[in-house]
């Protein structure tokens, strides 16, 4: 039976602790408001904490994210719930929302865990590591990733066999299998949705061979291969561990493509692919990198220079639409494509293919409110009710949107959007404080 929810009260609820939600929470908290930051995952930082370097500056992504995440975690005005979901929000009056929150058990008391990893070493269960996007495995008892915040173990109860090996080795006895789901009823005055984006699943385009050919990977997998917290110590192709020397990028995989229901440009794929190509040239100086594109959209500040820099480093750009990908006996991949400039169909061979997957909406956001209460756009991103005047406003007064929950955007734009959502939420709070 579901336990009676504990009643809690905060000025603002921020849902999603990626860079957009984190920045929104910080802005609100620095102004003196009490914030509850709810994250469904085990760590703060969203996708940004998992990236390698960032375009167009090539700054280290983890070096920017981790101090920010620590500031959020230590802020006296921010309370963090990880492993938590907001299951419903009802607006009671102008500045009064009631939210139901479900906090799942981690089976580890975070405050006592020293992240010694002894439980991880003792655990006999090996499953796919979601933070390394399936490139390697992890244990059922595990630290989410090496720069996770909170930096504490978690037990993946779905895969745990309850053998007790982790409990026996834990020096602080902080593993607790009696932990249960906790329920909360939150009373708050404003809500910010920062639930981010999901990645296009290339299984939906079978002719690219993803899931069938091991050496066809996604851009997020390559991002992990070149990140400081990478799964291997060098760049490897997953099929046989060979260091690749002819890498191909397929742009617009799942973007600008009506056949997969996404006519949108994902806005980030051209630039992150160009970034990865530059990083690969540094990591594998002898490798050939070819980018197959329809158009290069280098529209942002410093982007065109970044693109030209990649060309001058020797990255090859081919205006070509990939028809299909086949695997040869040695695991290499044969790409059939239309060379758009020459108007002919060609074939080339690469030993690894990276699909530059597009940005899709996060479907969980629509479940937070009663059916139909929150307006979504035709691609199921949160609709911006006053796009030209106040892009962080949604159709519900007092509910704001930040970052990629509203549509594809890069990190600087997500931070700008978070600033806008926070300032709208602050004015809303001030306006109703005086009533």
Ligand X SMILES: Cc1cc2nc3c(=O)[nH]c(=O)nc-3n(C[C@H](O)[C@H](O)[C@H](O)COP(=O)(O)OP(=O)(O)OC[C@H]3O[C@@H](n4cnc5c(N)ncnc54)[C@H](O)[C@@H]3O)c2cc1C
Instruction: Please give the residues from 130 up to 149 whose contact with ligand SF4 meets the rule CB under 6 A.
Output: 140-141
Window 201-220: contact mask with ligand X (x via CB under 6 A): ------------------xx
Q: Which does 15 bind (CB under 5 to 8 A by kind): ligand SF4, ligand X, none?
A: ligand X
Six token digits for residue 239: 């099929």
Structure letter (DSSP) for residue 158: T
Instruction: Name residue, tokens 């009056």.
Output: 93
Q: How many C-beta neighbours within 10 Å does residue 312 have?
A: 8
In angstroms, the CA 31 to CA 175 distance is: 37
Residue 343 makes CB contacts below 8 A (sequence gap 6+) with: none
| Binding residues for ligand SF4, total number by CB under 6 A | 27
Which helix or strand (DSSP H or E) is residue 413 part of?
Answer: helix 411-433
The residue among 161 and 380 lying less far from ligand X, judged by its C-beta, is 380
The residue among 40 and 91 lying less far from ligand X, judged by its C-beta, is 40
**Signed CA dihedral, 408, 412, 417, 422: sign only:** positive
Rounded to a whole number of angstroms, the minimum distance from the CB of residue 266 to ligand X is 9
Q: Which does 197 bind (CB under 5 to 8 A by kind): ligand SF4, ligand X, none?
A: ligand X
Rounded to a whole number of angstroms, the minimum distance from the CB of residue 318 to ligand X is 21
The answer to whether 410 contacts ligand X (rule: CB under 6 A) is yes
Applying CB under 6 A, the span of 163-171, 291-299, 352-360, 384-392 interacting with ligand SF4 comes to: 163-171
Environment class of 39 (CB within 10 Å of its CB; exposed 0-12, middle 13-18, buried 19+): buried
The residue among 229 and 390 lying less far from ligand SF4, judged by its C-beta, is 229
In angstroms, the CA 30 to CA 335 distance is: 52
The answer to whether 279 contacts ligand SF4 (rule: CB under 6 A) is no
**Nearest CA-CA partner of 166 in 140, 127, 134:** 140
The residue among 195 and 394 lying less far from ligand X, judged by its C-beta, is 195
The residue among 288 and 410 lying less far from ligand X, judged by its C-beta, is 410
The residue among 161 and 367 lying less far from ligand X, judged by its C-beta, is 367
In angstroms, the CA 163 to CA 160 distance is: 8
Q: Cα separations (Å) of 70 from 206, 227, 234, 298? A: 41, 20, 29, 33
φ, ψ dihedrals at 270, nearest 5°: -55, -50
The answer to whether 162 contacts ligand SF4 (rule: CB under 6 A) is yes
The answer to whether 122 contacts ligand SF4 (rule: CB under 6 A) is yes
The answer to whether 17 contacts ligand X (rule: CB under 6 A) is yes
Applying CB under 6 A, the span of 12-20, 228-236, 304-312, 380-388 interacting with ligand X comes to: 12-20
Q: How many C-beta neighbours within 10 Å does residue 122 have?
A: 17
In angstroms, the CA 123 to CA 111 distance is: 21
State the greatest distance between any 2 C-alpha atoms of the chain, in Å, as a whole number: 73
Rounded to a whole number of angstroms, the minimum distance from the CB of residue 120 to ligand SF4 is 7
Q: How many C-beta neighbours within 10 Å does residue 124 have?
A: 11
Applying CB under 6 A, the span of 112-120, 172-180, 191-199, 257-265 interacting with ligand X comes to: 191-199
Instruction: Please give the residues from 304 up to 363 whose contact with ligand X meets the rule CB under 6 A.
Output: 362
238: phi > 0 → left, psi -120 to 50 → alpha, else beta; which?
alpha
In angstroms, the CA 199 to CA 176 distance is: 34
Applying CB under 6 A, the span of 3-11, 105-113, 189-197, 338-346 interacting with ligand X comes to: 189-197
Instruction: Please give the residues from 164 up to 183 whose contact with ligand SF4 meets the rule CB under 6 A.
Output: 164-166, 169-170, 172, 174-175
Q: Which residues bind ligand SF4 (CB under 6 A)?
A: 108, 113-119, 122-123, 125, 140-141, 153, 155, 160-166, 169-170, 172, 174-175
Q: Which residues bind ligand X (CB under 6 A)?
A: 15-21, 38-41, 46-48, 51, 54-55, 85-86, 194-197, 199, 219-220, 223, 268, 272, 275, 362, 364, 403-404, 409-412, 414
């Amino acid at each position: 039976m579901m336990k009676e929810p504990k009643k809690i009260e905060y000025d603002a609820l921020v849902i999603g602790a990626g860079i957009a939600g984190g920045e929104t929470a910080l802005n609100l908290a620095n102004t003196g408001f009490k914030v509850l930051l709810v994250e469904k995952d085990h760590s703060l930082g969203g996708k940004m904490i998992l990236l390698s370097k960032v375009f167009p500056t090539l700054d280290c992504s983890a070096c920017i994210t981790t101090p920010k995440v620590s500031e959020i975690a230590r802020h006296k005005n921010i309370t963090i719930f990880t492993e938590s979901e907001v299951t419903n929000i009802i607006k009671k009056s102008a500045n009064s929302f009631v939210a139901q929150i479900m906090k799942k058990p981690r089976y580890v008391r975070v405050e006592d865990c020293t992240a010694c990893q002894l439980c991880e070493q003792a655990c006999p269960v090996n499953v796919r590591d979601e933070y390394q996007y399936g490139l390697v495995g992890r244990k059922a008892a595990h630290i989410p990733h090496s720069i996770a915040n909170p930096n504490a173990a978690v037990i993946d109860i779905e895969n745990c066999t309850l053998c007790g090996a982790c409990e026996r080795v834990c020096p602080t006895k902080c593993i607790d299998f009696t932990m249960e789901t906790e329920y909360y009823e939150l009373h708050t005055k404003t809500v910010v949705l920062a639930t981010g984006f999901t990645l296009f699943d290339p299984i939906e385009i079978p002719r690219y061979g993803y899931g069938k050919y091991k050496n066809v990977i996604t851009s997020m997998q390559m991002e992990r291969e070149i990140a400081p917290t990478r799964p291997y110590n060098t760049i490897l192709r997953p099929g046989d561990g060979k260091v690749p020397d002819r890498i191909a990028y397929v742009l617009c995989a799942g973007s600008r493509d009506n056949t997969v229901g996404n006519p949108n440009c994902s806005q980030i794929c051209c630039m992150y692919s160009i970034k990865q190509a530059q990083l690969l040239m540094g990591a594998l100086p002898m490798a050939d990198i070819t980018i197959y594109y329809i158009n290069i959209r280098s529209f942002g500040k410093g982007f065109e220079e970044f693109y030209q820099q990649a060309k001058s480093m020797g990255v090859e750009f081919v205006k070509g639409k990939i028809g299909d990908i086949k695997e040869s006996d040695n695991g290499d991949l044969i790409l059939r494509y239309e060379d758009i400039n020459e108007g002919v169909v060609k074939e080339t061979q690469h030993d690894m293919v990276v699909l530059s997957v597009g940005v899709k909406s996060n479907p969980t956001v629509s479940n937070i409110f009663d059916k139909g209460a929150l307006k979504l756009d035709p691609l199921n991103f949160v609709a911006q009710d006053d796009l030209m005047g106040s892009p962080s406003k949604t159709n519900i007064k007092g509910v704001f949107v930040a970052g990629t929950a509203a549509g594809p955007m890069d990190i600087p734009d997500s931070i700008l959007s978070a600033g806008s959502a926070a300032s709208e939420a602050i004015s809303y709070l001030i306006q109703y404080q005086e009533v």
